[in-house]
Amino acid sequence: MPIYACSNGKYRIGDGECMYTSRENAVRAYQAYLAQHPEAASESKAADMDKVSFDFDGTISKEQWQQKAMQLKDQGKTLYIVTRRQESDSEPVYAVADKIGIPHSRVYFTNGKLKWETIKRLGIGTHYDNNPDEIKAINENTDANGKLVGSKNNSMIYNYKSLSLEVKDVDTKAGEVVGYFSAFGNVDSDGDIMMPGAFKRSIQDWGPEGKGRIKHLLNHDPSKPLGKIMDLKEDEYGLYYRSKIGTHQLGRDFVKMVESGLIAEHSIGFKTLREQKSGDANQIHEVMLFEGSSLTAWGANEATPLLGMKNMNNIEQIQDQIKSFEKFIRNSDVTDETIDLCILKVKQLAELVERMSSTKAVDETPAQQKEEEVQVESFINIINKF
């Protein structure tokens, strides 16, 4: 809708006079105009809610928002980066775009200007930004939904913290899994440390003994609930859970993956309520916990990084994982969707082997290099068979 804020505090329609005392008055006037001139409605480009853009500095430059962008991409959203940086300072922006899989053609530099004109021209439906002035201008001048990030009191903040740890135990007969959604005392890639007591109030108010609103999801996807959390508590290690997995197809597939040792990561979705800077790290003392997720991290995007790969430092470890997936694919009766995700994971592991092999020390003997090349080729042959 072509309603714009003026410097005198009033609003205008299109290129008209700054005569409306509020945005609501301008909207009503424009709607009345469209009622009399319906042909003009086609001239206004509506926002496309499948288009999502991110600011760079302080937003998608941070890992948590890169993960958010990857999740949106896996959901079929078209992603953009819109930044006030100068185009001459594009290298770090393009590096993040490449990591996420955003084409350079969808990276826009406004060279110091406010972003709303670019957001409007592109027909973007949602924009994430840590600058409240940008969000205000976007919400006032475009149909886009501007979402402010980085404010500790903003209800739209939704953070993710992941933990590379397998499910601790599984009872296939009872359909229960036990594990940890989070660990205490570890400095993550954002420089944050989750502290004991951070989940206490959430567990009390929203846990299984309270209103039971904390969910166990797959990959932070609300449309993929795994089951009901029966026990949620803090212990000396971290946030412990015990969940009764549902008997729906997703639940049955999940139990089979857990039983085969294929679920190696967990994560939490939360809002930070209280934190404190300590040395080089940031201690998180209290959060509002929304959900805990078991992660496959293999979504539809083949470029999605695997958190569990950080702990794989030799080809033998990766070979063991590929063999586990190969066995699972051949012998399991899970759905085709789950099989497709497993094949995708094998592809990612094979790509990792290739990258590791290409960065091996130059002093390796030709025989060692040849052996690793053969291993890589055999992994790729496994994929091709499927």
State the CATH number of the domain containing residue 77: 3.40.50.620
- 298 pLDDT band (50/70/90 cuts)? very low
381 and 324 in one domain?
A: yes
From 271, 295, 319, the end of a domain falls on 295
**Domain total for the chain?**
4
Give 77's DSSP letter: P
Cα dihedral 379, 103, 44, 8 in deg (nearest 10): 130
pLDDT at residue number 272: 85
Choose one of 113, 131, 152: the last residue of a domain. 152
> Final residue of a domain: which of 295, 330, 362?
295
41 pLDDT higher than 70 = no
Cα dist from 305 to 66, 69, 328, whole Å: 11, 12, 22
Same domain, 165 and 287: yes
Between CA 170 and CA 297 the distance in angstroms is 20
- For the stretch 183-222, pLDDT in tens is 898 887 677 889 999 999 999 989 998 888 899 998 888 8
pLDDT tens track for 130-187: 888 888 889 888 888 888 886 443 444 467 777 766 566 788 788 899 989 998 988 8
pLDDT band per the 50, 70, 90 thresholds, residue 359: low
Length of the chain: 386
Query: Is the same domain home to 65 and 32?
Result: no
Q: Quote the CA–CA distance of 192 and 161 in Å, as a whole number.
A: 9
Range of the domain at 29: 1-44
Do 141 and 235 lie in one domain? The reply is no
Whether residue 114 lies inside any domain: the answer is yes
Residue 302 covered by a domain = no
In a shared domain, residues 164 and 273: yes
Give the pLDDT of residue 284.
92
Considering the domain boundaries, does residue 232 fall inside one? yes
- On whether residue 174 sits in a domain, the answer given is yes
Give the model confidence (pLDDT) of 338-350 as tens digits.
787 777 777 777 7
Q: Which residue has the higher pLDDT, 135 or 367?
A: 135
Tell me, yes or no, whether 82 and 101 share the same domain: yes
Q: Is residue 252 over pLDDT 50?
A: yes
DSSP 133-168: HHHHHHHHHSSSEEEE-S-TT-TT--EEEEEE---S
| Whether pLDDT at 299 is above 70 | no
